[in-house]
Each structure stands twice: as C-alpha cells, then as structure tokens.
Amino acid sequence: MELAYQAPMAIGVAMLVGAGLGLSNLLHDRGVPRSLARYVAPWCAGAAFLIAAFWLEPGVAIPLAVVLTAMLVVLKAFRRTALRGVEGELASQAWSEITFGLAGVASLAVGWGWLGDPWVGFLPIAFMAWGDSTAGLARATLWRSNVASVWPSLGMAAVCLGAAFLYEPYWIGAVGAVVATIAERKRPSLGVWWDDNAQVVFVSLTTMVVLKML
C-alpha cells in the first residue's frame, strides 16, 4: 500500500495504544483500583494490533511495534508515573508492560515477518491482550478470594477461541487458544522477563507455527 495510506494508519495505531495507557492512568487517578484499571490498556493495544494486521504492511507494523515498545522502556526508566495505571501490584508483574511489548514484537516478527502470515503474528498477541486480561480481571473481581478457581481460565478460553476465528483453518487458531489458556493457568515465576505475557505468546506462537509448517 502507498505510504500516504500507511502513515495515517500507523499514527492511528500509535494513538490507540497511547489512549489505552492514558485511560488506565485516568481510571487509576479517579480511584479505580490498579488491579482493574490496568486491564484497559492491553485491550486497547490488542485492538491496535488488530488494525495493524488488517491495514498495515509488515514493514510498517513491525518497526512501529518496536518503536512503541522502546517508548515503554524509556517511560519505565525515566518517567515511571506515566505508566502508573498499568503497573502490576505483584512482584511477578514488575515489568509486565515491557514484556507485553517485547512479546508482541516477537510474535509479529516471527508470524508476520518470517512466515508472512499476519494472523499467526496477531493471534498470540490477542490471546495475551484480550484472553490473559480477561482471566486477570476475573481474578481481580469475581474470584478475588479464590485464585485457584477455574472460571477465569474458562473465560480466557472463550475469548481466545473467539479470536481464533480470525485464522483459517480455524482449528490451528483454536489449538493455539487452548495452549495459551493452559500456559496462563500455570502462572510462571521465572524472573521479570518471563511472566504470563511471555509464556502465553511463546507457547501459542510456537504451537501455531509448528502446526502451520506441518
């Protein structure tokens, strides 16, 4: 597509990501618990990646994801208050904003950049942005006193299986959705650079890449 078309779309994607961060901050400032406010940003980011998959070229979408992730790193290092609405409350969530961006870049680079399939690149991001957030929000509200409940994972599975309809054949996306849900359920604690975000994307992306290649 022509650059004249790609540029405004890329700006729109960046603005949607920024709006998500801003809305999370606003909700936090208005007294909404951070455990709830922080999930607005990933839903907006997921929508931004969806727009990118539909209307951007990989040569634009992937560098844009890199730039946005770099901006998150800069904010985390020098202006942490700009991320006050999305910072996790648990030690395992200390760098979740950064791992979200890095996992997104990796998924786009492998699925779209290497395999040439925007939906293999996008779906693991959707599982992370929408599915993982659904499970986290459920645990922070309805099942706050019962973190072992299976219902948040079932909610994530439903969201992920819905997102999987974007992929053809559906069964590959569905398998990716199921393994993403299982990966989130395990809730890894392998250090700041390997949290739910990294695990969900790595497991689902690897599974879908293998199934696609087979």
Average pLDDT over residues 63-82: 95
Average pLDDT over residues 171-191: 87
Statement: residue 189 has pLDDT above 80: no
pLDDT digits (tens, 9 = 90+) for 133-153: 999 999 988 887 776 789 999
Please report the pLDDT score of residue 3 as a whole number.
63
* Percentage of the chain modeled with pLDDT above 90: 79
Element (H, E) at 151: helix 151-163
Q: Which residues, including other chains, have CB under 8 Å from residue 150's CB and lie 6 or more apart?
A: none
Phi, psi (degrees; rounded to nearest 5) at 195: -120, -160
Please report the pLDDT score of residue 91 as a whole number.
62
Average pLDDT over residues 157-180: 97
Cα–Cα dist 34/44, whole Å: 16
Please report the pLDDT score of residue 35 as a whole number.
85
Return the structure tokens found at 111.
């699925």
Statement: residue 177 has pLDDT above 60: yes
Mean pLDDT of the chain: 92
Cα–Cα dist 197/102, whole Å: 9
pTM above 0.85, yes or no: yes
